[in-house]
Each structure stands twice: as C-alpha cells, then as structure tokens.
Amino acid sequence: MNIQRNKDTFLWYDLETFGLNSRFDRIAQFAAIRTDNNFEIIGDEIIYYCKVSSDYLPSIEACLVTGITPQECNEKGMNEEEFITKINSEFSQANTTVVGFNSIKFDDEFIRNALYRNLSNPYSREYKNGCSRWDILPLIRATHDLRGSNIDWPEKNESNYFTFKLTELTKANHIDQVGAHDALVDVRATIAMAKLIHERQPSLYSYYYNLRSKYKIQDELANNRDKMICVSDTKLTSENGCTTLALKITDIPNSSNVYLFDLTKDITPLLKASEDDIINTEGLFYIAINKCPFIATAKVINKEVATSLGIDIELCQERATTLLKHKEITDRIIKGASSIQYSNDVDDVDSKIYTAFFSGNDTYSFKTIKKAKLEEKLLLLEKIKFEDSRAKELVYRYIYRNNEEALNPQDKEAWYDFAFDRITNPPVDPEQNSLLNYYIRLDEFIEKENNLASNSFNKSREYNTLLKLKEYGIQLENKLKNKVN
C-alpha cells in the first residue's frame, strides 16, 4: 500500500489507547481506511496492534471500555518502533490528509509522543510532501450550530448541552456502529458522518477542509481584521451550542495562539483587568491556528441562526466597536499570555516532548542509532555525546523497550530492574486527576483488579477482561522480580 500518489487522498484513522495521558499511556490499536475525495476506498483496511513494554501498566478503566488487553496486543502486535514506523509511513504518503474524530486533540497527541519515544520527528508528517491533518469534530459542531436543519441530531445530555459523541451521532442518523470502541468500527463511523455532511452541506464541508492550513486561517483572520467573526469551539460550549461572534484581539509572538473575545460576554471586566489577571477574564479565549479551528465571516450567523444561538448581533457589534477603541488591552494580553508558566510537574523524559526541538546533531545521531544493529545501538549509546539532556535517557528507553527479548542477560537484568521500579514507583504528577489513572503502582493495580472482579457477578466481557488484567499484572511482577521471561 505504500506507493506514492499524485492525487489527494484521505487517511481516516482512529486509535484505541491504554489510557488518556498521551505523554505516558500507550496506543493499543490503530485502524485506518484510505479514500479519495468521493469517499471511495483505496486499498485495504489497516489494523495494527502494539505490544506493551514491560515498564508500563495499562489503565484498567481503559481496558474495560475497549475490551483490549495487554495479552491481545502482545499476541497480535509488534513493538512500538515498528508499529509507529508503519503508521508514519501511511501518514507520510504524498498528498495525504490524515483525519479523524477529535483526532487533533487526542489521537494526534498519542502519535506525536510515540514518534518522540522512538527517536522520530513528531511533526514532519503533518506538513511535508503535501500532507496535512484535519479533524471533523469541529465541522460537526459548526454544522449543527450553523446549517444543521437537514441532519438529525442527538438529544441534549443530562447537563442540557448538545452531545457530539460519535456513537450518539451515528445512532441519530441510523448509521451502523456495532462494536464501538473498536478502532476500525469508529473509522467507518467517522467516514459515514463526514460523507453525510458532505452530501447535506457541501459548501460548509469544503470551506472547513481548506481551514486545515494554518495559512488559510491567517488569511481569514487578516481578511476580517477589526471585524466580528464567527467562531465554533468546544471552549464556547453552552446550552445553545458551541458557536459565537468574536473579535480578534491579538496574536501571541512566537506562538500559534490567537486571542479573541466572545462578544456575547460583558466587556467591562476585560477593560478593567490588570496584566496579572487579564488572561482569566470571562469571554477571553484563544484558538491555535495550527489545530484546524473553525472560523468564518460573521455573515454566516444570520438572524435565524443568531436566535437559535441566543446571540444579540447588535449588542455584539456595539461591544466590538468599543473594544477596537481600547488598543491598550493588546499589550496587557500579550504580557499576560507570555507570563503563563507551562510547567511540567512530572520530571521524566517521556513527558518532555514539547520542551524543545532536538538539535541537528542529535537528530543525526538518532537516525544513526535507529539504523544500527542492536549491539551497535548499545555501543553508540555510550559513545555519542548528545547535546540535549533528554537524549541519552530517551535513547536508552527506546533501545530496551523495543529489544527486550534480544538483550543479553546482563542488559536484560538492568532493564527489568528499571521496569520494576517504574511500575512500582512511577513518576507522579501531584496535580493529576485520579480518574484518568495516569499511573498506578503495581500492587495497587493487582488489588484494584481483585476489588473490581469481586463486584462482578457474571461472566461478562468486563469480568473476563479483569481476569486477564489480573493475570497480566501477576505475570509481569513475577517476570520482573525474578528476572524470568
């Protein structure tokens, strides 16, 4: 399937993961389908599994949702280097638009981190050789709010908000999605929803497809300078939808972020805010121009749409006119945004993808190491003087994670010691949300499985998954403590 094509194609994809933290959790399953612009399938459907390295424990909750266990991945899968290399090869075929459902905020982050862990460029596939990335979830939200009359939508959820879950969307539009939380099933459902919008609202579909380019976003913002614009974003979620009229305030230097103000909000707090607290002012928000935000001319919000969204167009225009007279807030916002400390509380190399770009010398060293045989990799690890403080530890983990079975007894013992320490005393984020289960100690892992299994009264899929996970935890502990395969 890896042949160069001159024509544009879409690679629709989805991941099932062993947790929600893209920096630390691992991909379990990858699925993709390539189509042309008319949604005609090109080539075979793709499905890959990734083996689980011994220094990682999956989230129990994630396994219960998907039904995928470490045993299944280890039986069907490949090591992470081979896994992500195959995926990246598909992504990087010339003129490929990689697209998913909520993929830019979730799936793409897992892809980037897997590439980073395996000494590959996390970003090049997103822009080289005519390639790009896209996400249909913002399109679905905008379609609902702006042009949704000829598409069926799910009922509001218990919080009285509109729901845009893929399972609910397909159900409302009578699209088969048997086996949700299976990557290939979700890919087919994503394609079906995109096709539906393409058929019912072709102009809106084509318009948003062009916004996958950050340069197109910049052009739209420039063309609407000092004017109200339509923005649809999850940050704007209310009982009426996810879309508002906004005014661009400022770009942030050396950043992809652009700050705007939601004109349905009172502008008084913004005008009075100090440099220290202006960023937290209600109504002020940002979009990232490299993440396919949905923006459009204010004209798309006609009177009918404005009524459904609860927008007073005249009041919004009055607020925009006032804000344009107060250019001094621009400097305050720039200084406020620049002072934000994006600290990383987890002092671990796996979490440091966004610390900095690697130098040309280190990148060259990575390529040399990746091409070498195992024995040579280990020699190069000790020989090379890396410029980046992350590099040596990253290379060490890359080598040992992907070559565990081929290590000599001495290296394997050292790796097992590292892995055992990592799953019994994992790096901790003091502000982590325990519900996300970023990390869990090995003894807690086994105890939690025992408690959950004791509350299961039938041989359901969940019960069987728990038994598999308990078995895996015990076997992993035995292997690492006793240095046996």
- The model's pTM is 0.92
Torsions phi, psi for 389 (to 5 deg): -65, -20
3-state secondary structure of 282: coil
283 within some domain: yes
Tokens 């596939």 belong to which residue? 125
Average pLDDT value over all residues in the chain? 91
Residues 6+ apart with CB under 8 A from 111: 15, 27, 84, 87, 88, 91, 122
Q: Give dist(CA 5, CA 193) in Å, integer.
A: 26
CA distance 55 to 212: 37
Query: Is residue 312's pLDDT more than 50?
Result: yes
Domains contained in the chain, number: 1
Domain contains 277: yes
- Say yes or no to pLDDT of 429 above 60: no
Domain that holds residue 291: 213-338
pLDDT value, residue 427: 76
- In sequence order, the β-bridge partners of residue 135 are 100
Residue 446 has pLDDT above 80, yes or no: no
Residue 325 inside a domain? The answer is: yes
- How many CA atoms lie within 13 Å of 244's alpha carbon, on the beta-carbon side? 24
pLDDT digits (tens, 9 = 90+) for 350-362: 999 999 999 999 9
Residue 469 in this model has a pLDDT that exceeds 70: yes
Of the candidates 220, 241, 229, 248, the one whose C-alpha atom is nearest the C-alpha of residue 299 is 229
- Short-list 122, 80, 50, 117, CA closest to 395: 117
* Assigned domain for 233 exists: yes
Are 181 and 65 in contact, with CB atoms under 8 Å apart?
yes
Res. 5: pLDDT tops 70:
no
| Tokens matching residue 111 | 């892809």
Please tell me the least confidently modeled range out of 29-33, 94-98, 473-477: 473-477
Inside any domain, residue 399: no
Residues 117-165 pLDDT 10s: 999 999 999 999 999 999 999 999 999 999 999 999 999 888 889 999 9
Residue 311, pLDDT > 50, answer yes
Kindly compute the dihedral angle of the four CA atoms of residues 440, 445, 448, 454, in this order, to the nearest 10 degrees.
Answer: 160
Residue 232 lies in a domain: yes
CA distance 225 to 470: 58
Using the predicted structure, report yes or no on whether residue 433 has a pLDDT greater than 50. no
Q: Give residue 18's Cα distance to chain centre.
A: 14
Which CATH number is 308's domain given? 3.30.1520.20
Going across the sheet that includes 27-35, the strands are 41-49, 27-35, 9-17, 96-100, 132-135
Question: Is residue 331 situated within a structural domain?
Answer: yes
Summarize pLDDT for 323-380 with one digit per residue, the tens: 999 999 999 999 998 877 655 557 899 999 999 999 999 999 999 999 999 999 999 9
Half-sphere exposure of 105 (CA within 13 A, CB side): 12
Inside any domain, residue 253? yes
Query: What is the sign of the dihedral through the CA atoms of 476, 478, 483 and 485?
Result: negative
Give me the residues paired with residue 96 across strands: 9
pLDDT at 104 over 90: yes
Average pLDDT over residues 210-234: 96
- Average the pLDDT over 220-224 and give the result: 96
Residue 286: what are its φ and ψ, rounded to 5°?
Answer: -130, 155
